[in-house]
Chain A
């Protein structure tokens, strides 16, 4: 943000006209933001201190009671564990695929526009459509099970303990991992585009110098590309972790608002939705929202420490 302050001149009437025009241009968005964003956060903090009735408003002041209740509910703790597990597996997996794809489509290869477009393609569909499609594909009689059977891979899966009609999304041991693979598939194209923008900001001379020194492709990647992508890693990791902790659509569509089967798809946000709109505990749900925000904020701070100073984007 360029800090330019208006110099005091005699043309103060024109300055006034400029200010008035500016306020008129930004008025509607700013009013919406002040009420629905900034105001909402303050309101959420307030609501979270009360037992709150949807119709009549505050019922009883609980202080930090709602917060204490969240952290002692085993189902919310399960939600936290699931969300953290999802973040811990999905974030690195999707970043690695995204980075790999970006490095490939950044080469001077034939048809790279096509490859970029193809790899991003799964990201354009809605979470609802793609999740239902995925439920079909990994269902007991779905494409995945049929294809692995036809390829003769069933003995391999048998070794891992999965029968030929494994219900991947309906089995509590594999449900969350199925969602991880779904989202790695759909989101790796987005991360590819993020990394691509970052890759293109590395000056070409760096690679020319490496080529003169006789560095091979792997050692160029390992010692030059990867470290120079640090701002890219920071950005993608931050966006990814924030998104991961907010996992909702796919889990709620596959497992319903109860995170079925057996809480295996219960995430922090599914729990929040459940508390607000199935149990109508608005004060409690507001407290869950604040706890969620603390998790997201904490994760962002940790990443900032890990990656050093934030880049200048």
Chain B
């Protein structure tokens, strides 16, 4: 990719704008592209460094060698077998919570988004204001009461700790908002035709509206999965048992108390493990990341 860009910079006429023979513009463009490419590379350097370091030995990890000397899988072996809680366990916990929370957001937010966008019912305005208000309440303000409520419900012990985290993340105001905005943008003709044919509200939603909402569902899935996989605050507070920890919790404990404090290669292997799934998602669904963020930006 970068090679193509460099090639484009060398052919200013092809990139449009500058008239052929305008040497000043030619050099300005070259300098601009060089700076841009340099800055873009800077975005990847730390991640590349974590991957390289994970294949190094400890003495080599603090040297400026780009090819590990010697190249070793020791750190990976260590990360997979020697840590408590084990890396596969953390990976599994993060995966379970992120998948369940994503599915739940998809279901609940698309139903509620459809109701707020299309159906008329008493109290709609005030109920939607409550949805918006949840976006303004900082999580930290809710920390103590939420913990006490979940504790009262028995969701802070044993396997039910997963339940506590899932319940608190089950549906977000921003997912509902995103779905509602998308449903509002769909023309009414199709669902009116379905209603004429005698379809009820649920069938209209399920068979007509939902299949049309693909891009919004994709954005909600990606943003929710990423947010939950990466989440730190609620898991930290609600997951007391090591066995239930997610990757971010495991990671920060390895750094602080897990004996890895400055044992960089295995620490970097865990960083790579925690980041890889999201990087893969980003490579395939980059458009939805970018559009989802932009949409939440424009519309608040």
A interface residues with partner B (beta carbon < 8 Å): 1, 3-6, 15, 17-19, 21-23, 25-26, 28-30, 32-41, 43-44, 47, 54, 104, 108-111, 114-122, 124-129, 131-137, 139, 141-143, 146-147, 150, 189-190, 193-194, 196-198, 201, 235-236, 242, 246, 248-249, 252-253, 256, 269, 272-273, 276-277, 282, 285-286, 289-290, 292-293, 296, 313
| Given contacts A40-B146, A132-B252, A146-B63, A126 and B201 within 8 Å (CB-CB) | no
Residues of A within 8 A of B114 (CB): 25
CB pair B201 A17 closer than 8 Å: yes
Interface status of B138 (Cβ within 8 A of chain A): yes
Question: In the complex, which residue of chain B has the Cβ closest to the Cβ of A117?
Answer: B286
Q: Select one of B138, B201, B202, B267 contacting A136, CB under 8 A.
A: B267
Task: Please report the C-alpha to C-alpha distance between residue A277 and residue B112 in the assembled complex, in whole angstroms.
Answer: 35
CB pair A111 B4 closer than 8 Å: yes
Task: Please report the C-alpha to C-alpha distance between residue A269 and residue B176 in the assembled complex, in whole angstroms.
Answer: 27
In the A-B complex, the 8 residue pairs with the smallest Cβ-Cβ separation, listed nearest first, are A126-B230, A128-B248, A110-B8, A194-B297, A141-B62, A21-B201, A43-B145, A118-B40
Interface window among B69-77, B128-136, B213-221:
B128-136
CB pair A285 B143 closer than 8 Å: yes
CB pair B119 A115 closer than 8 Å: no
CB pair B144 A285 closer than 8 Å: yes
CB pair B122 A19 closer than 8 Å: yes
CB pair B289 A124 closer than 8 Å: yes
Q: Select one of B205, B249, B268 contacting A133, CB under 8 A.
A: B268
CB pair A121 B44 closer than 8 Å: yes
Residues of A within 8 A of B143 (CB): 272-273, 276, 285, 289
Q: Is the interface of B mostly helix, strand, loop or mixed?
A: helix
Q: What string of 1s and 0s marks CB contacts (under 8 Å) between B3-19 and chain A?
A: 01100110000011100
| Given contacts A21-B201, A22-B121, A25-B119, A126 and B232 within 8 Å (CB-CB) | yes
Question: In the complex, which residue of chain A has the Cβ closest to the Cβ of B39?
Answer: A119
CB pair A313 B300 closer than 8 Å: yes
Q: Select one of B50, B140, B200, B289 contacting A246, CB under 8 A.
A: B140
List 19 extra interface pairs beyond A26-B127, A29-B108, A111-B5, CB under 8 A.
Answer: A3-B125, A19-B120, A26-B115, A28-B171, A30-B112, A33-B173, A41-B145, A108-B16, A110-B5, A110-B9, A119-B39, A128-B230, A128-B248, A132-B271, A143-B46, A146-B64, A190-B293, A246-B140, A276-B144
B interface residues with partner A (beta carbon < 8 Å): 1-2, 4-5, 8-9, 15-17, 33, 36, 39-40, 43-44, 46-47, 49-50, 53, 62-64, 108-109, 111-112, 114-116, 119-122, 124-125, 127-128, 130-131, 133-134, 137-149, 151, 167-168, 170-171, 173, 176, 200-202, 205, 226, 229-233, 236-237, 247-249, 251-252, 255-256, 262, 264, 267-268, 271, 274-275, 278-279, 282, 286, 289-290, 293-295, 297-300
Q: Is the interface of A mostly helix, strand, loop or mixed?
A: helix
B78 to chain A, nearest CB (A): 16
Question: In the complex, which residue of chain A has the Cβ closest to the Cβ of B52?
Answer: A143
CB pair A133 B148 closer than 8 Å: no
Q: Select one of B62, B108, B124, B144 contacting A22, CB under 8 A.
A: B124
Q: Which of A126, A137, A313 counts the most chain B CB atoms within 10 A?
A: A126
| Given contacts A29-B131, A293-B138, A35 and B294 within 8 Å (CB-CB) | no
Task: Please report the C-alpha to C-alpha distance between residue A146 and residue B53 in the assembled complex, in whole angstroms.
Answer: 14
* 6 pairs of residues in contact across A and B, judged by CB atoms under 8 Å: A3-B125, A28-B171, A114-B1, A133-B50, A253-B256, A292-B140
CB pair B141 A128 closer than 8 Å: no
Q: Which of A117, A129, A248, A290 counts the most chain B CB atoms within 10 A?
A: A129
CB pair A121 B130 closer than 8 Å: no
CB pair A286 B145 closer than 8 Å: yes
CB pair B112 A29 closer than 8 Å: yes
CB pair A126 B167 closer than 8 Å: no
| Given contacts A21-B201, A133-B50, A26 and B43 within 8 Å (CB-CB) | no
A113 to chain B, nearest CB (A): 8
CB pair B144 A36 closer than 8 Å: no
Residues of B within 8 A of A122 (CB): 43, 46
Residues of A within 8 A of B168 (CB): 36
Residues of A within 8 A of B290 (CB): 116-117, 120, 193
Q: Select one of B63, B115, B201, B251 contacting A132, CB under 8 A.
A: B251
| Given contacts A18-B201, A36-B149, A249 and B119 within 8 Å (CB-CB) | no
Task: Please report the C-alpha to C-alpha distance between residue A136 and residue B54 in the assembled complex, in whole angstroms.
Answer: 12
Question: In the complex, which residue of chain B has the Cβ closest to the Cβ of A23?
Answer: B121
Question: In the complex, which residue of chain A has the Cβ closest to the Cβ of B29?
Answer: A109
CB pair A193 B293 closer than 8 Å: yes
B259 to chain A, nearest CB (A): 14
Residues of A within 8 A of B140 (CB): 246, 248, 269, 272, 289, 292
Residues of A within 8 A of B115 (CB): 21-22, 25-26
Task: Please report the C-alpha to C-alpha distance between residue A38 and residue B236 in the assembled complex, in whole angstroms.
Answer: 22
Task: Please report the C-alpha to C-alpha distance between residue A239 and residue B299 in the assembled complex, in whole angstroms.
Answer: 12
Q: Select one of B171, B268, B294 contacting A29, CB under 8 A.
A: B171
